[in-house]
Structure 1
Amino acid sequence: MPAFAALLERLVFTPGRNAKLALLRGWFAGQPDPDRGIGLAALTGELALRTAKPALVRELVATRTDPALFRLSYDYVGDLAETVALIWPARAGVNAPPPGLAEVVAALETTPKADLPALLAGWLDALDATGRLALIKLVTGGLRVGVSARLAKTALADWAGQDVAAVEELWHGQRPPYLALFAWAEGRGPRPAQQDLPVFRPLMLAHPLEAPDLAEIGPSTHRAEWKWDGIRVQLSAMPGGRALFSRGAEDISAGFPEILAAMDFHAVLDGELLVMRDGAVAPFADLQQRLNRKVVTARMQATHPVGVRLYDMLFDGAEDLRALPFDARRARLEAWFARTRPARMDLSELIPFASVAALEAIRAGAREAAIEGLMLKRADSDYAAGRQRGKWWKWKRAPLGIDAVLMYAQRGHGKRSSFYSDFTFGLWRADGQGGEELVPVGKAYSGYTDQELLWIDRWVRNNTTSRFGPVREVEKTLVIEVIFDAAQRSGRHKSGVALRFPRIARLRTDKPAAEADRLATVEALIDGEAAED
């Protein structure tokens, strides 16, 4: 455990990507099995410890510290694990050795729930503050140290001298602590067999299209498709099973059983998951009702029916098509679809165009059609993992914008846990009494620079009017310019609207709050799009 704690601490305070990769490679090279595999699973979110929850940690620290002191400390620090690690009192006479990483995981899996508080307390007594922080983050699943699953897999691939795509393809056929994977990486064992397993293949991604890039686009060299407003998915159906993966390689099969049931074929397909009613694509807000659910009811399946609009074909049976050019893969996909006719699926339309000017006119109509924009793909492009510049482009419609008033602020996570970085903003509407009131319309936690974050954090602290746990209500005087991709009706929000991908474009310190936009501005955008449809 001390070695893992040291790794987490160094990762938190190491900003550079290459430096983080070096730390992870050192972990893989220097730690024994199964510790290094358990650490990898924890960093990638694959370590499922269901026995310890944040509430248990709060109850435990309440028996050792003054509740008021803990509450004030937690409010100041903003992170549960860090607060407990710092405030946990040393117990005289404790001379137990700190637990090992594998020991912690094994004990959590086998210890009865009633005995967990004593087990955790003993470990916390034996560890220093750094070790306590790592332990709590490990057992509660709250690891946020600036390492994505992709970065951890990249480090493993670098250390093994392999391509990261090879590690990605092996990943979903393995389970922590990845003994076979590490044996292969070190040349001590064969490549883990998975030919018939429904594993995730890394997706090909697109670069945002900038104005200078338009010179490379032409009807003879590129193919155009709509960029649909759902979530990117991969359908993997093999003799050994079926799985539906998100863009981030998360297995989301359980949330969409009707799609899994329709995958009665042997192929790997790339597409967009959408809520579709009578062939028409519903707003993204409808799809959100289906996301992040472990179990979905029959009623939800009926009221929010999903389908997949297919973009590409990676495998046809056992045949790997990824090295073929796009036009050839598209022809294979069309022939396969005509032959198979899978339920709940259709083909993404190829959009003919004669010139870039024609494409610009088509893109201009994307908002009225409730579509995100265009995808432009080279006709000769293979299907390569990651972003391959010059092969695929995404040309999104221009964002919408409003001037809103900052209403509430909350601390972030990880490196932002000490800063107020999540902001709820609102617009004006009539209050029914001859005046106006602010109603929340969205929450943003991106778009600003590091310097702007420092400024807003200081402003929030100096202009707080009320506190609600980790949330601060502030003076309604700061105007922020917010941009977003779309607006939709929403019965879940007090304002009746929801914004798609809101982010802060700039701070409008020059603008009084009374001159911020009205809710009617956003409602008009929604009504205008509905009228066009």
Structure 2
Amino acid sequence: MLLADVVTTSAEVAATRSRLAKVKALAGLLAKAGPGAVEPAVAFLAGAPRQGRTGAGWRTLYDLKATPSAEPGLTVERTDEILEELSHTSGKGSTQKRADLLTELFGAATESEQEFLRRLMTGELRQGALEGVMLDAIAAAADVPGEAVRRAFMLSGRLTVTAVAALTGGEAALTEFKLEVGRPVRPMLASPAESLQSALEELGDVVVEYKMDGARIQVHKSGDDVHIFTRTLREITGSVPELVELVKGLLCQSVVLDGETLALQDDGKPRSFQETMSRFGATNQRELLLHPYFFDCLHLDGVDLLDVPLRERNNALREAVGERVIPGGTENAEQILADSLAAGHEGVMVKALDSVYAAGRRGKAWQKVKPEHTLDLVVLAAEWGHGRRTGYLSNLHLGARDPDGGPPIMVGKTFKGMTDELLAWQTKELQTIESHRDDFAVYVRPEFVVEIELDGAQVSPRYPGGVALRFARVLRYRPDKDPADADTIDAVRALLPGKS
């Protein structure tokens, strides 16, 4: 398959806001891809090479002098092979070898293909929820049920692997994916509730649990073999030895657990989210004050529990972890909320007891109740500060995720809520993901997610989504989240007066 076909399809997807049109374009391309092209084509269209980082930086790629090819001839397969070589090039002579590979790749590409490759390799093709659109396209191209594709993706964790199975083996191949202890499952997500009362009325029989201000973890144990993953499925086992030892001590042979871990103060209240996240990279074991609390059990001693109701999973959870179950209960929801807030946590989670574990999806079966409005938004740019903030990147441009797979949609700016320490960190880090700049601002690749507290939203023609944030202020950056985890433009619009 020619890379030019992928570039053309990518442009078609970017040019339309119609989800159906995006799916049709993607499915049309995938249906004609040969077996060797499916995996790299899906990775390219989803916005990143399947190899991840290739060792070629932004400056290297944009300074590269390679005369573009007059006619398209570069294939997807050859592009993938070169990227694979780049990802493994290191040591003596690697600089020249990398330069030779890049020259070969870009010399074989047309001008439009060169620009696509630069954006692909620097992360500028990231398109948030394109993942969901791609899953629908895979189903359409393979003529298989969408639910079968989504479940296989849930269990495999990789779009490319799911696509290859669907397009080469159909529904039968998709059903071969099972929960595998040691391989992370995409976490089930919660939706914001209008209020505690609305969540209770909508969900019926529920359990109400503390919503802790910690870091999401997924724990896998098979005998003494333990693996611990973040919400983005990054393995952190080597950074959290005290959690590994705790899990080894559980009285079960095999288990997969979902939970939160926190760093606690001497009085038992949680430290800041940033402190908890910093423990994942700590090297001094005395720094590691992480305390896990588990709220779901996906597998126990050879039995998979994804498809059984939460009330049954909770029984297995208590059997597996005992007192490590997150605080909560099925009665006195208002008191549980009050107790959670008094203990320094964010609020509560309200979960339907008859719900199955819908991994990787943000449904209504789990709802989060917090006293303040917060949104996770993508940083698009930052303006240089004035006065005391001269020399610092200060005023953030904020974008909400497009649920139909387009680039983030700008919904506002804020410079409020930033400490001097955060300003210094932000100024340094944002320039490492710079895409371009002008006299006023540095524009960045959509990689960082920041949690914003706000008073609501208002209709505004100033921004593309027709809505703007009211009195937005920065709470913290969320290194545990990717742009695909950010809140959508629909979540922002739901805060408009009269929508709740």
- TM-score with structure 1 length normalisation? 0.63
Separation in structure 1 between the aligned mates of residue 76 and residue 269 of structure 2, nearest angstrom: 51
Separation in structure 2 between the aligned mates of residue 247 and residue 337 of structure 1, nearest angstrom: 20
Separation in structure 2 between the aligned mates of residue 226 and residue 245 of structure 1, nearest angstrom: 21
Structure 1 residues 368 and 267: CA distance shift in structure 2, 3 A: same
Separation in structure 2 between the aligned mates of residue 239 and residue 224 of structure 1, nearest angstrom: 32
Match of 2:219 in 1: 235
Separation in structure 2 between the aligned mates of residue 428 and residue 101 of structure 1, nearest angstrom: 44
> One-letter code of the match for 2:125?
L
Match of 1:107 in 2: 82
Structure 1 residues 379 and 284: CA distance shift in structure 2, 3 A: same
CA contact (8 A) 1:5 1:133 kept: no
2:365 maps to 1:353:
no
CA contact (8 A) 1:232 1:247 kept: yes
Q: Which blocks of at least 5 consecutive residues in structure 2 are unaligned?
A: 87-93, 376-382, 386-393, 400-404, 427-448, 478-486, 494-500
2:33 maps to 1:31:
yes
Separation in structure 1 between the aligned mates of residue 100 and residue 458 of structure 2, nearest angstrom: 44
> One-letter code of the match for 1:284?
F
2:11 maps to 1:9:
yes
Task: List aligned pairs for 1:83-162, cutoff 5 A.
Answer: 98-110=73-85, 112-160=94-142, 161-162=144-145
Separation in structure 2 between the aligned mates of residue 332 and residue 303 of structure 1, nearest angstrom: 32
Deviations 1:52-100 (A, max 9, x none): 2213113325xx8xxxxxxxxxxxxxxxxxxxxxxxxx67xx6575321
Separation in structure 2 between the aligned mates of residue 206 and residue 328 of structure 1, nearest angstrom: 19
Separation in structure 2 between the aligned mates of residue 173 and residue 146 of structure 1, nearest angstrom: 15
Structure 1 range deviating more: 301-310 or 250-259: 250-259
Structure 1 residues 152 and 481: CA distance shift in structure 2, 3 A: same
Q: How many residues align?
A: 412
Separation in structure 1 between the aligned mates of residue 15 and residue 293 of structure 2, nearest angstrom: 43
Q: How many angstroms does 1:225 deviate by?
A: 1.0
Separation in structure 2 between the aligned mates of residue 140 and residue 26 of structure 1, nearest angstrom: 26
Could you tell me which of 228, 244, 267 is aligned with 2:228?
244
Could you tell me which of 461, 464, 467 is aligned with 1:451?
461
Structure 1 residues 400 and 170: CA distance shift in structure 2, 3 A: closer
Task: List aligned pairs for 1:381-392, cutoff 5 A.
Answer: 381-385=355-359, 386-389=361-364, 391-392=365-366
Match of 1:168 in 2: 153
State the structure with more CA Rg: 1
Separation in structure 1 between the aligned mates of residue 336 and residue 307 of structure 2, nearest angstrom: 30
Separation in structure 2 between the aligned mates of residue 428 and residue 96 of structure 1, nearest angstrom: 51
2:255 maps to 1:267:
yes
Structure 1 residues 255 and 175: CA distance shift in structure 2, 3 A: farther
Structure 1 residues 152 and 203: CA distance shift in structure 2, 3 A: same
Separation in structure 2 between the aligned mates of residue 147 and residue 60 of structure 1, nearest angstrom: 31
Match of 2:439 in 1: none
Deviations 1:437-476 (A, max 9, x none): xx899997977877333699xxxxxxxxxxxxxxxxxxxx
Match of 1:285 in 2: 274
Q: How many angstroms does 1:424 deviate by?
A: 5.1
> One-letter code of the match for 1:171?
S
2:249 maps to 1:276:
no
Structure 1 residues 184 and 248: CA distance shift in structure 2, 3 A: farther
Q: How many angstroms does 1:20 deviate by?
A: 2.4
Match of 1:225 in 2: 209
CA RMSD of aligned residues (A): 4.6
Give the fraction of aligned pairs with identical amino acids, expressed as a percent: 21
Structure 1 residues 399 and 180: CA distance shift in structure 2, 3 A: closer
2:415 maps to 1:425:
yes
Match of 2:42 in 1: 40
- TM-score with structure 2 length normalisation? 0.67
Structure 1 residues 450 and 38: CA distance shift in structure 2, 3 A: farther
Q: How many angstroms does 1:44 deviate by?
A: 6.4
2:188 maps to 1:204:
yes
Deviations 1:259-289 (A, max 9, x none): 3454434111111122235654322121232
Separation in structure 2 between the aligned mates of residue 37 and residue 256 of structure 1, nearest angstrom: 33
CA contact (8 A) 1:153 1:167 kept: no
Q: How many angstroms does 1:142 deviate by?
A: 3.5
Deviations 1:145-166 (A, max 9, x none): 4544344334334544242442
Separation in structure 2 between the aligned mates of residue 237 and residue 311 of structure 1, nearest angstrom: 16
Match of 1:520 in 2: none
Could you tell me which of 370, 374, 380 is aligned with 2:348?
374
CA contact (8 A) 1:276 1:305 kept: yes
Q: How many angstroms does 1:328 deviate by?
A: 2.5
CA contact (8 A) 1:170 1:194 kept: yes
> One-letter code of the match for 1:135?
L
CA contact (8 A) 1:170 1:192 kept: no
Q: How many angstroms does 1:4 deviate by?
A: 1.6
